């Protein structure tokens, strides 16, 4: 029987291009992308995946995007958090947020804290939203906190300190699926993750496409740096 990954991360790329190809505003692509999260999340939870982390908004997005596009993104987050507060709690899903949340508007920070507290004891699975997040920033903040407290283990101070390592990363909207990148997403946690890339834009990424990514994962030979037999070392 194929072993379901415990932790899957998704880089949800292609929302803006999806909208532009349909002569729509970029924010409409972000809205379509936000609405596509729910069916993928529920499918993942039904399969027994314990943690699903999505790259909702990078720190670079906040620093480098135009103000009007950022405001549209914040409006989408606001409305979705209102919805998630009851919906995810009723479905027994824990919602967590990772990232440098100080970069987010205060109303979003407040709602995110409320939802996280409300769903904290839910046990069906964990949905993680990486917002104002960069992997390097997470590591830097954790190291800074460890030094301040005199600790020799900075990983205890990472936003994702209690998550299992990432088994599979899915990246959508890749122009050339053979060549992909992590874009500063979960760098520490993804040391041995399998990476699946597809040219399909995130708003068009379906449950069936998610299952194709899982098939790719099932077919991988995960050695974690070990040599499992002499033939893996060249046969001599």
As to burial, measured by CB atoms within 10 angstroms (0-12 exposed, 13-18 middle, 19+ buried), residue 102 is exposed
Which pLDDT tens digit goes with each residue over 156-206? 999 999 999 999 999 999 988 777 889 999 999 999 999 999 999 999 999
**Residue 236 confidence (pLDDT) above 50:** no
**Mean pLDDT taken over the chain:** 91
Confidence band of 226 (pLDDT split at 50, 70, 90):
low
**Residue 146 confidence (pLDDT) above 70:** yes
**Residue 72 confidence (pLDDT) above 50:** yes
CB 32 within 8 A of CB 18: yes
Half-sphere exposure of 213 (CA within 13 A, CB side): 28
pLDDT reported for residue 1 = 44
- Residue 13 annotated as catalytic: yes
Phi, psi (degrees; rounded to nearest 5) at 42: -65, -40
pLDDT reported for residue 202 = 98
Q: Where are the domains of the chain?
A: 7-219
Tokens of 191: 């040391």
Q: How far apart are CA 201 and CA 193, in angstroms?
A: 22
Dihedral angle sign, alpha carbons of residues 169, 175, 179, 182: negative
Domain 7-219 grouped into CATH 3.40.1180.10: yes
| Percent with pLDDT over 70 in the chain | 92
**Residue 130 confidence (pLDDT) above 80:** yes
**Angle formed at CA 222 by CA 197 and CA 172, multiple of 5 degrees:** 10
pLDDT reported for residue 223 = 57
**Residue 232 confidence (pLDDT) above 80:** no
| Percent with pLDDT over 90 in the chain | 81
What is the average pLDDT across 89-107? 95
Candidate list 15, 36, 61, 134, residue with the active-site label:
61
**Residue 123 confidence (pLDDT) above 50:** yes
**Residue 230 confidence (pLDDT) above 80:** no
- Residue 153 annotated as catalytic: no
pLDDT reported for residue 178 = 76
What is the average pLDDT across 52-58? 96
Count other C-beta atoms under 10 Å from residue 24's C-beta: 14
């Amino acid at each position: 029987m194929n072993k379901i990954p415990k932790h899957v991360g998704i880089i949800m790329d292609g929302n803006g291009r999806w909208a532009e190809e349909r002569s729509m505003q970029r924010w409409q692509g972000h809205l379509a992308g936000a609405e596509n999260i729910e069916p993928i999340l529920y499918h993942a939870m039904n399969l027994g995946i314990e943690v699903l982390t999505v790259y909702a908004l990078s720190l670079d997005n906040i620093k480098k995007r135009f103000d009007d596009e950022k405001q549209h993104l914040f409006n989408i987050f606001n409305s979705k958090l209102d919805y998630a507060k009851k919906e995810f709690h009723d479905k027994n899903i824990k919602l967590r947020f990772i990232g440098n949340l100080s970069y987010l508007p205060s109303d979003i920070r407040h709602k995110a804290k409320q939802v996280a507290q409300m769903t904290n004891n839910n046990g069906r699975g964990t949905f993680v939203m990486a917002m104002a997040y960069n992997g390097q920033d997470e590591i830097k903040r954790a190291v800074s906190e460890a030094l301040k407290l005199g600790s020799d283990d900075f990983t205890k101070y990472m936003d994702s300190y209690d998550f299992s390592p990432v088994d599979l990363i899915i990246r959508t909207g890749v122009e050339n699926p053979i060549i992909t990148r992590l874009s500063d997403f979960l760098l520490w946690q993804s040391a041995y993750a399998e990476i699946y890339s597809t040219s399909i834009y995130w708003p068009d990424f379906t449950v069936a496409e998610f299952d194709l990514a899982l098939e790719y994962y099932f077919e991988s030979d995960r050695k974690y740096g070990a040599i499992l037999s002499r033939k893996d070392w060249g046969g001599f």
